[in-house]
Chains A and B, each alone.
Chain A
Amino acid sequence: MRIILASSFVPFINGGYRFIVEWLEEKLTEYGHQVERFYLPFVDRAEDLFDQILSFRLIDLSASCDRLITFRPPAHVLPHPNKVVWFIHHIRTMYDLWDSPYRMVEDNPLGRAIRQRLFDLDTTTLMQSRRVFTNSRTVANRLLQFNGVSATPLYPPLSNPDRFRNDRYGDEILVVCRVEAHKRQLLLVEAMRHVKSAVKLRLCGTGMSTEYLAAIRRTIASDLGERVIFENSWISEDRKIELLASALAVAYLPMDEDSYGYPTLEAALSCKGAITTADSGGVLEFVQHGVNGIVAEPDAVSLADAMDRLYCDRALAARMGAMSMKRVEELQINWPRVVESLIA
């Protein structure tokens, strides 16, 4: 089958929103399909929101492939008779982040009309697809709530799940993801001031906000130099696998995330549990408190307590790790299921 994968992107910004596309591209090729991938530019911006969306709509791929698979909005507006949408989030500043400081336009009659227009065009174009899948139950619920569209959660697997391994349960709580305010690494660093055990924290990743990076460095330098390690770089897959293999557990506490997050899955495949927080959104579809991880409150003391618990009870850390691995099977997070669903 000739398949085109289409998503939107912001040039030079990497992250999970590209992995889901590129890993699927690899797998579909392995399954013998001809695959072509397009990233079209889109920025969350009010001034030319509809102009940008219209530029997607004007691209006609209907005669170019047997199947179109779309990901990040507004790629789903691309017209095609055999379109399948793997929806990873809405234009959130117009949807679920409306009642937040991030709202894209003013909450006045004009702003509300613009919002309704976006709802309508999203709903119309989503309805024009064969099937709509999402990366999580959280996002499927939002589609139903805002657009009345029923979607099926299809959890995205990692590219090479077999490469991960478990060597031991060491002393470090590991955090590997972009270093940004909404990922809350700073809160974990602050939590280290409250731990009672000798547990350590290792942060790996890069970020766009120099202020946030500086705040983390400052907090570590003040009194945590011995116990918090900050590798402020994009680490290789090999190094990540190595660090995960000897970690005690993983921490991943994004603010109201859309999906369970690749760090959670990487932890599971390395037989490690995850520490997260009650407001981390899609992560809670994977992490069950006391079973395969700890769901703490989003405050320093509660997180410190979670880290101490795992450090002082390695048997608990191992049990949670094993249950994490099992959770991957329970939720059917694997490529055969993904490929079968998307090309059916």
Chain B
Amino acid sequence: MKVLVVNNAAPFVRGGAEELADHLVRELNATKGVEAELMRIPFRWEPAEGPSTKFSSIVTYA
């Protein structure tokens, strides 16, 4: 069975949540018949410029 472990990630910050995800992936991979991989999605708690102020420039990639 393939198992994707997903976590969010604040760049350059490591703590309990990161350890938990790493250990889980290691233990899953040590389990017979399981292949596990971690996917980390960058996340910021506080947007620098408030919500969606750049929406139009984002969708035009300008």
Contact = CB atoms under 8 A, between A and B. Distances in A.
Interface residues of A, number: 25
B42 A54 contact: no
B41 interface: yes
A2 B12 contact: yes
Contact of A40 (B12, B35, B41, B44): B41
Interface string A32-73: 001010111100000000000010011111111100000000
Interface in B16-62: 35, 37, 39-42, 44, 47-48, 58-59, 61-62
A93 interface: no
A121 interface: yes
A38 B9 contact: yes
Contacts of B10: 64
B11 interface: yes
A174 B22 CA distance: 36
Interface string B1-19: 0101000011110000000
Given A11-B39, A38-B42, A58 B58 contact: yes
Contacts of A125: 61
A60 B55 CA distance: 12
Nearest to B11: A64
A38 B42 CA distance: 8
A61 B35 contact: no
Given A57-B58, A57-B61, A4 B39 contact: no
Contacts of B62: 124
A38 B37 CA distance: 13
A314 B10 CA distance: 56
A121 B61 contact: yes
A12 B37 contact: yes
Contact of A4 (B4, B11, B41, B47): B11
A11 B4 contact: yes
Given A11-B4, A38-B40, A41-B39, A65 B11 contact: yes
